[in-house]
């Protein structure tokens, strides 16, 4: 659980739903270089502000802060969709190497270290690696 017992019961469920929603929608819709580079930074800053607020006060306005977090994150998602992803679909060269397509849907990928213990999961060391863009493939 992300929160102590002094928090409302629905805050855990609401925050868990929010995190899963953002992960799914960013996986499906965030595909261009600018979106991959800046969208997670904005979402991380907003999430840290929410967690600091909720954990700093004894009885904060928890659900209101969660609703604000969800709406601000949705605003960032829609902003990046309209300013970067929509233009990438409609205005980019369909034969360009940077254009998202069915065969190569993302402009950037995370480098995952391959080793003999891959069934356990990837190394936490790779979490600090920068994104690998298409010119590295």
Asked whether residue 84 is domain-assigned, the answer is yes
**122 half-sphere exposure, CB direction, 13 A CA radius:** 11
Number of compact structural domains in the chain:
2
Asked whether residue 4 is domain-assigned, the answer is no
Distance CA 101, CA 75 (A): 25
Q: What is the pLDDT of residues 90-106, one digit of tens each?
A: 777 766 666 666 666 66
Cβ-contact 112, 127 below 8 angstroms? no
Domain of 114 in residue numbering reads as 107-137
Pair 23, 89 in one domain? yes
Distance CA 65, CA 68 (A): 5
Pull the structure tokens for residue 62.
Answer: 């928890």
Q: At what angle do helices 9-29 and 62-80 cross, to 10 degrees?
A: 0
Cβ-contact 29, 77 below 8 angstroms? yes
Position 28 scores a pLDDT of: 82
The pTM of the full predicted model, rounded to 2 decimals, is 0.70
Pair 95, 113 in one domain? no
Pair 20, 86 in one domain? yes
Asked whether residue 14 is domain-assigned, the answer is yes
Pair 119, 91 in one domain? no
Q: What is the pLDDT of residues 42-70, one digit of tens each?
A: 999 999 999 999 888 777 788 899 999 99
Distance CA 119, CA 32 (A): 30
Cβ-contact 11, 60 below 8 angstroms? no
Pair 40, 78 in one domain? yes
**Residue 104, phi then psi, degrees to nearest 5:** -140, 80
Asked whether residue 111 is domain-assigned, the answer is yes
Return the C-alpha torsion angle 38, 39, 45, 47, nearest 10: -160
Pull the structure tokens for residue 103.
Answer: 């065969």
Pair 39, 81 in one domain? yes
Residue 89 has pLDDT above 80, yes or no: no
């Amino acid at each position: 659980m992300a929160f102590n017992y002094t928090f409302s019961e629905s805050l855990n469920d609401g925050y868990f739903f929010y995190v899963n929603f953002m992960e799914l929608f960013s996986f499906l819709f965030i595909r261009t270089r600018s979106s991959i580079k800046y969208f997670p930074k904005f979402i991380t800053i907003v999430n840290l502000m929410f967690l600091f607020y909720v954990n700093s006060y004894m009885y904060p306005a928890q659900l209101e802060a969660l609703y604000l977090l969800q709406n601000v994150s949705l605003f960032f998602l829609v902003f990046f969709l309209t300013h970067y992803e929509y233009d990438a679909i409609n205005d980019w060269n369909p034969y360009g190497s940077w254009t998202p397509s069915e065969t190569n849907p993302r402009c950037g990928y995370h480098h995952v270290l391959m080793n003999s213990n891959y069934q356990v999961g990837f190394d936490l060391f790779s979490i600090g690696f920068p994104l690998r863009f298409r010119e590295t493939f």
